[in-house]
């Protein structure tokens, strides 16, 4: 048995069911092994799309998203999507092929120092020199992704290493890192607090039920970051809504008035906390590198909250008196993007929404009402165009459920070729394209921030209906709000493309 076949066995043993990727010369030993396995390979049409799909697969399932590419041309195409996963702490596995060891880092055909390239956009990055190191790297990566999830892990695999039959396996002697030395001081702050506030990040999703029980039992209000929306339903009054630059009125008031912030599983970026009062900030995260504030606790959210004691407080009712509605103008105007998005979100209020980047994303964020975690997908820390369609594919394969992809006419063209992947796998994905024939946010920035006329933002778009049809996908164009409302009353099933011609519209800026 060679290394590639053993690595595929390890993936099977871990319960990996799908891998997204494109075969190529240097990664071919993995594909040979994969062809004789129980793992389903999803052939994308671009490696960036494979990595975005693996990202969404991780977000929407209990499994590890895996993507695979060959040497420099394929691997480099994955870097941007890997960076998006890194910034959002999405724990997925990236496997790349490379030239034989003797030609891996020299000036040879398709040789690029891939380990160096991926170093800044992954939490772990391996480039094994022999079969034993390769097998150990994969076993370690799978363990860390499952038990100590911080973000993407990359393994760069030379072709001759994959073909080697000379390897020895070692048992893992790895314990998850933790440092709870600040927990006693944090407990003192909680015990003295009269206005404690939970701020939940994506790292707390696995403990949703326990946190909900604590919050309701002790009447401690909850807010969420962008990626944790729905961890507790926004129908539940205990959840005040999202914090940060797009904070709801209740969440903003709570952040301003609380005397103790208990941030669980959050990176605590500047978009979530423009300012941090360190003396009242308890930060719990498995990743020590993101911890902030006076009370830094490195450990799993579940273990930490189980060791803390809380008491009942009575400031929630006052917060609930605040009107929490976020006003968005134009939601009933013909035919503005926010009007279309409102109706799409109302129609598909239980489905996973995969958002692309663009002006429509702001309206989706403001109008979306989160009931479940990981149902509103968007890599907000980097906001790359081209995420929406491959992410919808990854989520649909992970869940087997209907997924809604909302895109602008600019963003959809970044990975438009994935309509072929959508059709080939016959996925129940409805792709909405809001077409205003421009890069809207860029045009708005040009006009409002730089005081210039629109420059290089107008788009001469293809016929999206014909394009979709050329892939064998049903498609329809909508030009009126009445027609959209009529369409949404139907029992829609994907693959389906819906192009909506919308007005040019500025996004509302944060106040």
d(CA 451, CA 426): 47
Q: What is the pLDDT of residue 226?
A: 87
What is the secondary structure of 377-443 as a DSSP string? E--TTT--TT-HHHHHHHHHHHH-S-EEEEEETTGGGGSGGGHHHHHHTT--EEEEEEE-SB-HHHH
- Is the pLDDT at 176 greater than 70? The verdict is no
The model's confidence at residue 141, banded by pLDDT at 50, 70 and 90, is very high
Angle at 439 between CA 271 and CA 346, to 5 degrees: 65
- Is the predicted pLDDT of residue 173 greater than 60, yes or no? no
Boundaries of every domain in the chain: 3-163, 183-320, 337-501
**pLDDT band at residue 481, thresholds of 50, 70 and 90?**
very high
Binned at pLDDT 50, 70 and 90, residue 162 comes out as very high
Confidence at residue 175, expressed as pLDDT on a 0 to 100 scale: 52
499 cis-preceded (ω within 30 degrees of 0): no
Check residue 149 and give its pLDDT.
Answer: 84
Q: 458 Cβ partners below 8 Å, 6+ apart?
A: 437, 438
Cα separation, 396 vs 74, in Å, equals: 24
pLDDT of residue 511: 67
- Residue pair 471/497 in contact (Cβ under 8 Å)? The answer is no
CATH number of 3-163: 3.40.50.970
Tokens of 22: 């494109």
| CATH superfamily label, 183-320 | TPP-binding domain (3.40.50.1220)
Mean pLDDT of the 330-335 span = 85
Q: Phi, psi (5° rounding) for residue 71? A: -60, -160
Counting beta carbons within 10 angstroms of the beta carbon of residue 459, is it exposed (0 to 12), middle (13 to 18) or buried (19 or more)? Answer: middle
- Tell which residue, 340, 338, 388, 335, has the closest CA to residue 363: 338
The tens digit of pLDDT for each residue in 88-118 reads 999 999 999 999 998 887 788 888 889 899 9
- 117-138 mean pLDDT: 94
Average pLDDT over residues 154-178: 83
Residue 83: the pLDDT is 96
- Residues near 48 by Cβ (< 8 Å), separated by ≥ 6? 77, 78, 80, 81, 386, 390, 415
Instruction: Transcribe 345-379 into DSSP letters.
Output: HHHTTTSEEEEPSSHHHHHHHHH----STT-EE--
pLDDT of 319 reads 95
- With H, G, I as helix, E, B as strand and everything else as coil, classify residue 80: helix
Asked if pLDDT for residue 286 goes beyond 90, the answer is no
pLDDT tens, position by position, 58-84: 999 999 999 999 998 999 999 999 999
Cβ contact 47:421 at 8 Å:
no
| Model confidence at 39: pLDDT above 60 | yes
* Domain 337-501: which CATH number of 3.50.50.60, 3.30.450.40, 3.40.50.2300, 3.40.50.970: 3.40.50.970
Asked whether the predicted pLDDT for residue 174 surpasses 60, the reply is: no
Q: Describe the strand order of the beta sheet including 295-298 as a list of residue ranges.
A: 239-242, 222-224, 196-200, 260-264, 281-285, 295-298
Quote the mean pLDDT of the chain. Answer: 93
% helix, strand, coil for the chain, step of 5: 40, 15, 45
**26 pLDDT above the threshold of 80:** yes
For position 493, what pLDDT does the model report?
97
């Amino acid at each position: 048995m060679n290394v590639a076949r053993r690595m595929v066995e390890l993936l099977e043993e871990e319960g990996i069911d799908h891998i997204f990727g494109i075969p190529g010369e240097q990664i071919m030993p993995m594909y040979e092994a994969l062809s004789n396995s129980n793992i389903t390979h999803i052939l994308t049409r671009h490696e960036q799309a494979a990595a975005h799909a693996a990202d969404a697969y991780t977000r929407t399932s209990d499994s590890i998203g895996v993507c695979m590419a060959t040497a420099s041309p394929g691997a480099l195409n994955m870097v941007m999507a890997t960076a998006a996963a890194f910034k959002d702490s999405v724990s997925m596995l990236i496997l790349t092929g490379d030239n034989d060891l003797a030609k891996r880092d020299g000036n040879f055909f398709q040789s690029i120092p891939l380990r160096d390239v991926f170093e800044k956009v992954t939490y772990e990055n391996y480039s094994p020199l022999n079969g034993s190191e390769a097998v150990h790297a994969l076993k370690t990566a799978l363990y860390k992704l499952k038990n100590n999830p911080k973000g993407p892990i990359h393994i760069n695999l030379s072709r001759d290493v994959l073909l080697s039959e000379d390897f020895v396996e070692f048992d893992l002697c790895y314990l998850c890192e933790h440092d709870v030395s600040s927990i006693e001081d944090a407990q003192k702050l909680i015990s003295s607090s009269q206005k404690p506030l939970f701020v939940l990040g994506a790292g707390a999703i696995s403990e949703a039920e326990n946190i909900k029980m604590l919050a309701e039992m002790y009447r401690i209000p909850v807010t969420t970051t962008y990626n944790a929306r729905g961890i507790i339903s926004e129908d539940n009054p205990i959840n005040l809504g999202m914090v940060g630059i797009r904070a709801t009125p209740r969440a903003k008031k709570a952040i301003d008035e609380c005397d103790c912030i208990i941030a669980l599983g959050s990176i605590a970026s500047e978009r979530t906390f423009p300012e941090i009062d360190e003396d009242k900030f308890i930060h719990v995260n498995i990743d020590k590198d993101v911890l902030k504030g006076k009370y830094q606790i490195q450990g799993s959210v579940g273990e930490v909250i189980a060791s803390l004691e809380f008491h009942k407080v009575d400031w929630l009712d006052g917060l609930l008196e605040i009107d929490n509605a976020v006003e968005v103008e134009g939601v009933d105007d013909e035919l503005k993007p926010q009007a279309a998005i409102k109706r799409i979100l109302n129609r598909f209020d239980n489905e996973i929404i995969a958002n692309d980047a663009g002006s429509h994303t702001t309206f989706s964020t403001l109008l979306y009402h989160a009931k479940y975690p990981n149902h509103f997908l968007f890599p907000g820390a980097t906001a790359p165009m081209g995420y929406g369609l491959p992410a919808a594919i990854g989520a649909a394969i992970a869940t087997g459920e209907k997924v809604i992809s909302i895109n602008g006419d600019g963003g959809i063209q970044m990975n438009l070729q994935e309509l072929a992947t959508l059709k080939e796998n016959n996925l129940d994905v409805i792709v909405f394209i809001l077409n205003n024939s421009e890069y809207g946010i860029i045009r708005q920035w040009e006009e409002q921030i730089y005081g210039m006329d629109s420059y290089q933002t107008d788009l001469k778009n293809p016929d999206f209906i014909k394009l979709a049809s050329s892939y064998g996908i049903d498609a329809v164009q909508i030009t009126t709000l009445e027609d959209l409302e009529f369409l949404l009353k139907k029992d829609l099933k994907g693959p389906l493309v819906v192009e909506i011609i919308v007005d040019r519209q500025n996004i509302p800026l944060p106040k």
